[in-house]
Chains A and B, each alone.
Chain A
Amino acid sequence: METRNSIRPPGPVVIDIENITKEYVMGEEVVRALRGVSLQIRRNEYLAIMGPSGSGKSTLMNMLGCLDTPTSGRYEFNGKNVAEMDDDELAAVRNREIGFVFQTFNLLPRSTSLRNVELPLIYAGINPDRRVERAAQVLADVGLGDRIHHKPNELSGGQRQRVAIARALVNGPSIILADEPTGNLDSKTGEEIMELVENLYQHGNTIILVTHERDIAAHARRTVHLRDGLIEMDHVGFIPELDLPVAR
């Protein structure tokens, strides 16, 4: 994979996290999922977040994706303080700045590919003509130009994930947040999806991968290891010998 070595010059800071913590109350116990994480992510980086179950990986991802706000600490997204945003402002950030790609695709089962991809544009209030045009264009970009009127159950797993990626891209977000994007795919299809992600990176997108698979993390240009709610290691490139074994 020759492209792996080509690190593109990073742009301005998109995500700036400083010493964030997150605590949950579960019954009588307080769970400290994040214990003070600081992280800076620049435009057009390709970052993998790794860590075993319970390391705070999912919590960090929810935080980065603006699905949740930190208990304490500072989180700036494109210079705006996310920690102080209300629900509507968070929804607007999720809509315009973040593209989610999930392990289980999370497409609306009864809607066509086109309709699924249109959805973020609907919530953004884009008018129908421009919306359809844009959605069809992005679907063509991910190689599904001939599948726009198919419903998810008429598509293969790889195709479904492509629809999900198209949906993530359609509003031109600042970051793509992919949570185990190949977890439900066979390895060949998974490689195809990772090639598509690589392609997005080469076209100037910012990618954040959340995974516990080293093969998948190996595609990234920078790796962040989490353990027990803290960043254990943050290094450029993927160094297999330094990489710690992770629990599946």
Chain B
Amino acid sequence: MIFSEIIKMAWSSLGTNKLRSALTMLGITIGVFSVISVMTAIGALQYSIENGISFLGSNIFQFGKYPANISASGDVQEKFRNRHNITYKQALHYYRLMRDEAREICLKCFGHDIKAQAVYNGVKTTPSLLIVGTNRSFLTANAYTLGYGRNLNDEDVELSRRVIVVGKIIEKRLFPHETPIGKVVRVSGHTYTIVGVLAEKGTAFGQSQDDLCIMPITRFFEDYGEAKRTVNIATQAFTQDTYNRTFDRAIGAMRIARGLRPDQPNDFEVYSNDSLKSAFVNVAGYVRVGAFVISLIALVAAGIGIMNIMLVSVTERTKEIGVRKSIGARSRDILRQFLTEAVFISEAGGVLGIILGIVAGDLLAMWLKVDLIFPYGWAIAGLLVCSAVGIGFGLYPAYRAANLDPIEALRYE
């Protein structure tokens, strides 16, 4: 029997039960959709992280109290909670030890807890600015560039001057028609003179990176308090070649600054672009496995749905099977016909799920402002899995149909 004929038969018999076929198909669609959409979004994110986004500047590693991967489970977090903050004093100690070993050392303290709002001439920004107390190396360490004006300098830090460098959003909001340089703004009840404006950096993971203002770290501590704050230290090696040596010395310097005995483990975290990326890839891996397992369960459920519908269909069409056999259909013709129907439902559902999944995944990627991808591998895998589901769950009903006794089947009413 010709293959196109089998397709034609499957199509026409599915067409007679449109709603039923569509609902059965939907199960497969959902299963495939869930895996493809997650894989597309994660794939797009990972692609842009591996090829574009830099969390830190080049040749830079950073010390902090907490690891980058703070989504770790409860008992792990417990370990970090009892850690002492990296104090400004310790950070300065490190700074002195490492000053000649590194190109830049950036001490920074983020005011995540301060709901900062900048006011100028009665115009206000949103109360969601990020204040960072730092030094001149912040731009290098966090991959910012200066738009115009000047950067913070060492004197600003030494004298804890009331100066700030603001992000693009603040400039646009408060100074649409004039230069902000030299203007005095109020931020959370304190006044500062703007000395520079950062160039626009755009968004990462849906969050703007331009709604921040940086000030000398000493000023930051005076205005917002030093207690309960931990300092992050970013260190840039002179070159790629000296990176490892600088890294090793920095660990030693950090241990000295933290006052650790030789037998004590490090009570700080060190991370780099590579470790941040691999932390993300780790998380992405778990999400992938999760999505895969969930969709596998959904597909098994959908497959059972297909089997159920096909068994109903075989019973309903017993007479038809008898007629077909009486006019010369072989058992294998009947088997193929029913199997094709099952695979057809499953493939149609799968194709729909793949299309919807890629669209949804890429919409998510668009929202996160990362490059869109077409996950060929997952799409092909999806089709193969759907064929397997169709064949796997369609085989038994088709086998039942093929092995009906023609006499009994003809007599069936």
Contact = CB atoms under 8 A, between A and B. Distances in A.
Interface of A: 62, 65, 67-68, 87-88, 91-92, 94-96, 100, 102, 106-108, 110-111, 119-120, 122-125, 127, 167, 171
Contacts of A102: 410
B328 A88 contact: no
Contacts of A94: 325-328
A97 to B, nearest CB: 9
Interface in B312-345: 319-320, 322-333
Contacts of A106: 319, 322-323, 326, 410
Contacts, number: 63
A108 B323 contact: yes
B16 A123 contact: no
Interface string B1-31: 1100100000011001000000000000000
Contacts of B293: none
A171 B327 CA distance: 10
B407 A120 contact: no
Contact of A110 (B5, B16, B322, B331): B16
A87 B5 contact: no
Contacts of B328: 91-92, 94-96, 120, 123-124, 171
B180 interface: no
Contacts of B13: 110
Contacts of A108: 320, 323
A100 B322 CA distance: 12
29 contacts: A62-B407, A67-B326, A67-B407, A67-B410, A68-B407, A88-B330, A88-B331, A91-B328, A91-B329, A91-B330, A92-B328, A92-B330, A94-B326, A95-B329, A100-B327, A102-B410, A106-B323, A106-B410, A108-B323, A120-B327, A120-B328, A122-B1, A123-B324, A123-B328, A123-B330, A124-B328, A125-B1, A167-B327, A171-B328
A160 B126 CA distance: 79
B406 interface: yes
Q: What 5 A-B pairs are tightest by C-beta distance, nearest first?
A: A95-B328, A91-B330, A123-B328, A106-B323, A120-B327
Given A108-B320, A110-B12, A125-B2, A119 B327 contact: yes
A67 B1 CA distance: 20
Contacts of B16: 110
Contacts of A68: 407
Nearest to B322: A106
B324 A119 contact: yes
Contact of B1 (A88, A123, A167, A171): A123
Contact of A87 (B322, B326, B331, B410): B331
Nearest to B331: A87
A176 to B, nearest CB: 13
A106 B407 CA distance: 13
A87 B330 contact: yes
Given A102-B410, A125-B1, A65 B12 contact: no
Contacts of A119: 324, 327
A129 to B, nearest CB: 12
Nearest to A97: B328
Interface in B362-413: 406-407, 410
A177 to B, nearest CB: 9
A119 B325 CA distance: 11
Given A106-B319, A108-B320, A122-B5, A67 B327 contact: no
Nearest to B324: A119
Nearest to A91: B330
Contacts of B332: 88
Nearest to B330: A91
Contacts of B324: 119, 123
Given A122-B1, A167-B327, A67 B333 contact: no
Contacts of B407: 62, 67-68
Nearest to B333: A123
A67 B406 contact: yes
Given A94-B327, A95-B329, A111-B12, 4 more contacts: A62-B407, A65-B326, A108-B320, A167-B327
Nearest to B403: A87
A62 B1 CA distance: 25
B331 A123 contact: no
Contacts of B326: 65, 67, 94, 100, 106
B366 to A, nearest CB: 45
Contacts of A120: 327-328
